[in-house]
Structure 1
Amino acid sequence: MVGIATVVFGFVATRGNPDGLVLARTWLVVMCGHAAIGLSNDYVDRNRDALAQPDKPIPSGDISPDLAYWLVIVLLAIQVILYFTLPVGAALLAFAATASGLLYNLRLKDTVLSWVPYFISFSTYILFLWSALDRFDPKLLWLYPPAFLLTIGINLANALPDIDSDRQRHRSKGLAHRLGIRRTRVACWLIFALTPLLCLGLTNVTPVNRVYIEVLGLCGVVVVLANILLYLRLPRPQALELTWKLSCLSTFCTAAGWLAALSL
């Protein structure tokens, strides 16, 4: 999803005319950081996953812990080398996005501040793309109000499938664990349904092409409604996992619509 989003946003930032090599470099920086964060999360949680999610790569034996550890080191090293090919501002933003993801894995995941790295990573990710592609515009700072809501929603949706197991086995105290499954689920639906309305409200404050957020924001709301209907029909484990996947899709629709409205 992140790889596809990077390419799509690259075309949005350059209005459909990206430099192929620059976009490829930007994509590689993003994917190295994204993969390093994901693998480090699996490495840190390997003992927890052995009990709750034994089919994940490390507990299942597909990847050894040592291999995962060294892959993280290699990916981070490649990303750091690529920093030297970027504008200074873009390199700093990429560093902030990756560092916040690692901070989440190592320190903040099971705390009430677990949403903070999501907010930092998401907001700096977008600014990084535009900076790396030499398309930065101060108007992009209007991303922050909806980004604040969307990142809290994504953080809650990501934790939703594991709330019960995390509470029972690991005594986790993240925001979703404090809210519980029912309130977390409702909070996700409200956040992803209301954020497009916030974006529409912001069109009265800053000049944008609102047709993009109207169309894609509506798509995001439709995804939320589909999520609610499917949740009522599916067994609970499948429904919780589906909520996470559809939350990602709804976030992508709203974020892409608001970015396009600001950029095109």
Structure 2
Amino acid sequence: QNGGILLREQLSKRQGYREDVKVFTAKELEKATNNYHESKILRQGGQRTMYKRILVDNRIVANKKSIIGDPSQVPLLVYEYITNGTLFHHLHHDDVALDLPWKTCLRITIETAEALSYLHSTTSIPIIHWDIKLANILLDNNYNAKVFYFGASRLIPSDKARINTILQGTFGYLDPKYMLTSFLTEKILPMYFVSLMKEDNFHDILDPRVLTDENVDQLKKVAVLARRCVRTKGDVTPETQPRRYG
């Protein structure tokens, strides 16, 4: 059965479902990408290629095409096209003219945490992203956060609290307990600054572009919460409280 139709049928059974899942034909996708012309390629990976395409209503979307499996049945996914780049680009590239104010940074952090909370606690089977980092957080024109790239993600079966996996992810963002034990749970959260977060060097790890006299207390509270999230004892990290969807 067509995977898109099957997905729509499954979603329609959920409370609060909205009829906003569009199923495209192979011919529609070929036309929109000029038969998958190389000029339409946004990015390529080991197992998939992302194409930019324009729909008949002039909406721009991203089309992911798998390059493995049966060539007569190529899996295709169509995503919202995010035009504002990654959070990494906005924080670390000199050519970005507009610095992100602290209020926007905090909102992006909250939205990312809400996305992870949804994956961990609201889906029927918990989903672990496994590679959360700045380069995998996209921003739209209003700087709304979109968690991106699920190529390394894993499912945790309902009858298991954790699974044992081969160490994978981006060094510097891996959870300390995961690095020690290789056990993956819904309490695994990325970390970057934990090695620098000490009592006497809090200001040394802050981006001076967001630090002001007015928000220093809020910054400290966020840093303390982040440090709690990356404790080596995963059982004592904060519980996520997901919003109710649907």
Q: Scaled by the length of structure 2, what TM-score is found?
A: 0.29
Greater strand proportion: 2
Greater helix proportion: 1
The higher radius of gyration belongs to: 2
Structure with more relative contact order (C-alpha pairs < 8 Å, separation 6 or more): 1
